Structure 1
Amino acid sequence: MTLLKRLVTPLAFTILSSSAIAAPTNAEVEALKAEFINSQTANGFDVAEITQFIDNAEYNQAVIDAMTKPWEAKPWHQYYPIFLTDKRLEKGLAFWNEHADTIAKAAKEFNVDPQIIVAIIGIETYYGGYMGNYPVKDALYTLGFHYPPRAKFFRSEFANLQSLVKEEQLDINSLKGSYAGAMGFGQFIPSSYRHYAVDFDNDGKRDLLNSKADAIGSVANYFHQHGWQKDQPVTLQLTLNKDLPDNLKVWAGERLHYKVADILSPEISLAKSIDLDVSQPAMLVKLEQADHDEYWLGLKNFYVITRYNRSPLYAMAVYQFSQELNQAYVTQ
């Protein structure tokens, strides 16, 4: 996931510059390495192979720089044109047509909408065109031992990488991915690869790096395992008749705590009226356009997309791209 995605812990939506982050001292890094070695021995590795695993990874300043300048820091009106393009739509339609049987099989088996599978792979890697050039081991090592804001999370992913390489017999030195250590067509971080990847082409291995079928099935499984509701709405645009009430807060990565009934009111209504269960969980999403703010009602499926990448901008881009894809596919 961009990933992410994501990817697995809530995004704080506060972007820190690299200069604002105090680098750990050498002593602190060594202490973290000792702690890592101790924890990995509990996972069945011996000290020698853990030490070799760490020593095989290198610090990469470019990873820190990329982490502190994510696309999700942009306002919506600058963010969405990066992803919602005619070329990506054409590529997505071609991908869907080429793999129609596999996508239909995955959608049916995992009870997800096919367009969401196609959209994710398109947003993440342009259908395999851009799968990342950062050595995964270096990216996760750098973030896990030299990026204090999320070091604990990325050390966990570094540990998962060691297990993943052993389980799937991967060549760690050839693994390339995003600056956050996400890999393959669907950009799965190591923990997601281990927990959600499936062998969808039945060749005896879960290969998200080379098998498009495995990637399709694994993305579908990821959404299924996180509670995707097939044929259900994802997000609905809102109309504000007055200013946003003081008691309502825009979603910022936390678990859903509002219900639809908490958000809709005489001041805030659906832009297009539909029958809706007002007792279901929901969130309030704000999109910054160039000259105004848009507000959307995010439902359970929108929240599921944010399990891939915690940014609401990412989730909205995936949703809108999925709608474009579906329209193009059914009318071709």
Structure 2
Amino acid sequence: MPILRAYLAPLGLFCVSSCLVACTTAHEPTPPKTALTSTPTVIEAVNTPAPMIPELLKEEFVQAQIKQGFTRTEVLTFLNKAKYNQGVIDAMTRPWEAKPWHVYYPIFLTEKRLNAGLAFWKKHEETIAKAAAKYQVDPQIIVAIIGIETFYGQYMGNYPVIDALYTLGFHYPPRATFFRKEFGELMALVKEEHLDINNLKGSYAGAMGYGQFIPSSYRHYAVDFDNSGSRNLLQSPEDAIGSVANYFHQHGWQANAPVALPLVNNSKTAPKAKVWAGEKLNYKVANILTPTLALADSRDIDISQKALLIELEQADHSDYWLGLNNFYVITRYNRSPLYSMAVYQFSQQLKEQHATQK
């Protein structure tokens, strides 16, 4: 593989900021009797008249579920349990990832989250080490994901999952096909894992448990890591730890490999390479680095490996990073580059602080 000491920025031109992290949930645990100050959470279905489901669409769903082994009566009963929730639509249209980086990360990175992460790591040290070894995933990534998603199980979401997926699957045209499939996956998951559908809560997008798995991910990547006989991502942190590790393993995580590298743009204009926007990896490192867009620190790097260009919008300028394979793997969990950068930077903070406690 071609290796070169890639284009490097002169020393002193770049200072990496510390303690920068963000997440998809703005909420942190709130002391008793204290009102939430962040985005309000819709707990139950909003009393908004539900739009009618076209009979053809409803019948298509019924037939699809029958092909999966359910009876018509079972499918219709499941459908009838779901309620339309306008709050789900409202939440879907104001994602946190729509904010610029300099607004996004301070909302989520706090000393409280870091301390909670270190405490979680200490409490589950043996399980995290076991999962990291078995699935070849760096332990700090496992801890970071659970912390960003649910503040270590303290905020798993209060939307009825069946209502969230029903609402998005039948009343949110931009992604209705995807969420209708997840609604069907939920029906299968409830049967397989004996979940209580009447009390199953999660995010506005139907994600559940410590790691916020949507039903298809729960079915395909969850593992019984505590050997209890069930895959319980809602109550077992051990299962959650193993399942997050398995998810990253199955998506190609490379243990101890770099995730993202800071760049310096020595030009007054934007880089020529296209900033990554969710597509498959089409660029290689050699397509991104130039004499004016350089690595911030000196290192050897394989310029033939696939990579992506990340832009982080600051208040008065943009920072650029080189994302490598592991960064792309984080985007398989959540496709927002802001989310993925938040996970990475938080994981580095956790790693550094955890090392000092040994």
TM-score, L = length of structure 1: 0.91
State the aligned residue count.
311
What is the rounded CA distance, in whole Å, between the counterparts of 2:167 and 2:57 in structure 1?
12
Could you tell me whether the CA contact under 8 Å between 1:3 and 1:182 is conserved in 2?
no
Q: Which amino acid in structure 2 is aligned with residue 73 of structure 1? A: A
Are 1:235 and 2:260 an aligned pair?
yes
What is the rounded CA distance, in whole Å, between the counterparts of 2:58 and 2:100 in structure 1?
38
Query: Aligned residue for 1:112?
Result: 137
Cα offset, 1:184, TM superposition: 0.2
Cα offset, 1:25, TM superposition: 6.5
Query: Aligned residue for 2:274?
Result: 249
Query: Aligned residue for 1:131?
Result: 156
Task: Give the structure with the larger helix fraction.
Answer: 1
Query: Aligned residue for 1:267?
Result: 292
Which 5+ residue runs of structure 2 have no aligned equivalent? Answer: 1-22, 26-49
Please give the residue correspondences for 1:135-150 in structure 2 after superposition, counting only pairs within 5 Å: 135-150=160-175
Are 1:310 and 2:310 an aligned pair?
no
What is the rounded CA distance, in whole Å, between the counterparts of 1:181 and 1:149 in structure 2?
16
What is the rounded CA distance, in whole Å, between the counterparts of 1:155 and 1:288 in structure 2?
34
Cα offset, 1:31, TM superposition: 2.2
Cα offset, 1:117, TM superposition: 0.2
Cα offset, 1:273, TM superposition: 1.9
Q: Which runs of 4+ in 1 moved over 6 A?
A: none
What is the rounded CA distance, in whole Å, between the counterparts of 1:254 and 1:279 in structure 2?
19
Query: Aligned residue for 1:121?
Result: 146
Which secondary structure does the structure 1 equivalent of 2:157 belong to?
coil
What is the rounded CA distance, in whole Å, between the counterparts of 2:55 and 2:259 in structure 1?
46
Query: Aligned residue for 1:62?
Result: 87
Matching residue within 324, 327, 330 for 2:349: 324
Q: Which deviates more from structure 2 when the two are superposed, residues 228-237 or residues 79-88?
A: 79-88
Matching residue within 63, 82, 100 for 2:125: 100
Matching residue within 9, 29, 42 for 2:67: 42
What is the rounded CA distance, in whole Å, between the counterparts of 1:66 and 1:239 in structure 2?
36
What is the rounded CA distance, in whole Å, between the counterparts of 1:269 and 1:280 in structure 2?
16
Cα offset, 1:244, TM superposition: 2.5
Query: Aligned residue for 2:13?
Result: none
Q: Which amino acid in structure 1 is aligned with residue 152 of structure 2? A: Y
What is the rounded CA distance, in whole Å, between the counterparts of 2:55 and 2:139 in structure 1?
47
Are 1:226 and 2:273 an aligned pair?
no
Cα offset, 1:58, TM superposition: 0.3
| Per-residue CA distance 1:181-234 (angstroms, 9 max, x = gap) | 000000000000000000000011000000000000000000000000000000
What is the rounded CA distance, in whole Å, between the counterparts of 2:217 and 2:184 in structure 1?
13
Cα offset, 1:29, TM superposition: 3.2
What is the rounded CA distance, in whole Å, between the counterparts of 1:85 and 1:220 in structure 2?
24
Q: Which amino acid in structure 1 is aligned with residue 138 of structure 2? A: D
Are 1:84 and 2:106 an aligned pair?
no
Please give the residue correspondences for 1:153-192 in structure 2 after superposition, counting only pairs within 5 Å: 153-192=178-217
Query: Aligned residue for 2:57?
Result: 32
Matching residue within 210, 213, 232 for 1:207: 232
Which 5+ residue runs of structure 1 have no aligned equivalent? Answer: 5-23
TM-score, L = length of structure 2: 0.85
Determine what percentage of the aligned residue pairs are the same residue: 69
Could you tell me whether the CA contact under 8 Å between 2:141 and 2:344 is conserved in 1?
yes
Query: Aligned residue for 1:71?
Result: 96
Could you tell me whether the CA contact under 8 Å between 1:29 and 1:146 is conserved in 2?
no
What is the rounded CA distance, in whole Å, between the counterparts of 1:30 and 1:287 in structure 2?
45
Are 1:287 and 2:309 an aligned pair?
no
Q: Which amino acid in structure 2 is aligned with residue 172 of structure 1? A: I
Q: Which deviates more from structure 2 when the two are superposed, residues 237-246 or residues 169-178?
A: 237-246
What is the rounded CA distance, in whole Å, between the counterparts of 1:272 and 1:259 in structure 2?
19
Could you tell me whether the CA contact under 8 Å between 1:60 and 1:142 is conserved in 2?
yes
Cα offset, 1:3, TM superposition: 6.9
CA RMSD of superposed structures (Å): 1.5
Cα offset, 1:245, TM superposition: 4.0
What is the rounded CA distance, in whole Å, between the counterparts of 2:193 and 2:261 in structure 1?
41
What is the rounded CA distance, in whole Å, between the counterparts of 1:25 and 1:274 in structure 2?
57
| Per-residue CA distance 1:295-327 (angstroms, 9 max, x = gap) | 110100000000000000000000000000000
Cα offset, 1:34, TM superposition: 1.0
Could you tell me whether the CA contact under 8 Å between 2:24 and 2:97 is conserved in 1?
no
